[in-house]
Amino acid sequence: GAVVSQHPSRVICKSGTSVKIECRSLDFQATTMFWYRQFPKQSLMLMATSNEGSKATYEQGVEKDKFLINHASLTLSTLTVTSAHPEDSSFYICSALYRDYGYTFGSGTRLTVV
Amino acid sequence: SQQGEEDPQALSIQEGENATMNCSYKTSINNLQWYRQNSGRGLVHLILIRSNEREKHSGRLRVTLDTSKKSSSLLITASRAADTASYFCATVRNTGTASKLTFGTGTRLQVTL
């Protein structure tokens, strides 16, 4: 139980375009999901906390207008990287808060902006 | 930044040896968790230790927590090549309505045959 599915696993996009990443909780309802960014050989940095039915809470330094988060249902949160640039290339990981299990992570999305 | 520090940054051992990783953090915590990440993949939860616990075991894993020193250690005994991965500690502070995970810098473990 407590599985989080993240798609796509890899995406390559052109500079200036937008990319949407989905994070689904498959067998539980997740009122809270988290989005992280990870650079090569570095740790995970929390970008934002996504709450179902309300606005996301962004960490300091994260651009709200660039990283749009939507948590429209109890099983789906999406992260849209708008007007992507090469410096947005990174590994993005979502996680969901699951009552008894703690935190369950998606398998991550490797974004490459060319 | 509230991010914790882990040491060593990288550790290379032979199969069968024990691996010890250390984590230090900066704030008071509710609990501390250890995660494993294979290259380019998501994180797998290994073990959770609460702030009122000092030691916990799970299979070949042993975790200690010293809240007075704000530090934790993860010991993997009798390591295997399949243990090769990055290991992260993460602390949880209850902040308002959502408990956020704050990750340490990670230790890259390489287990060779």
Q: Please write the tens of the pLDDT for every residue from A21-54.
A: 999 999 888 888 999 999 988 899 999 998 888 8
* A11 interface with B at CB cutoff 8 Å: no
Q: What is the pLDDT of residue A2?
A: 83
* B10 interface with A at CB cutoff 8 Å: no
pLDDT at residue A15 is higher than 70 = yes
Contact A108 B42 (CB under 8 A): yes
Q: How confident is the model at residue A112 (pLDDT cuts 50, 70, 90)?
A: very high
What does residue B39 show for φ and ψ, rounded to 5 degrees? -55, 125
Q: What is the pLDDT of residue A101?
A: 55
Residue B23 structure tokens: 């984590």
Domains of chain B by residue range: 5-104
SS3 state at A87: helix
CATH superfamily of B5-104: Immunoglobulins (2.60.40.10)
Q: What is the pLDDT of residue A100?
A: 56
Reference B69, options B89, B44, B51; nearest CA is B51
Q: DSSP code of A59? A: P
SS3 state at A86: helix
What does residue A11 show for φ and ψ, rounded to 5 degrees? -150, 135
* B107 interface with A at CB cutoff 8 Å: no
Find the Cα–Cα–Cα–Cα dihedral A105, A86, A114, A24, rounded to 10°: 20
Contact B105 A42 (CB under 8 A): yes
Within its chain, how far is the Cα of B69 from the centroid? 16
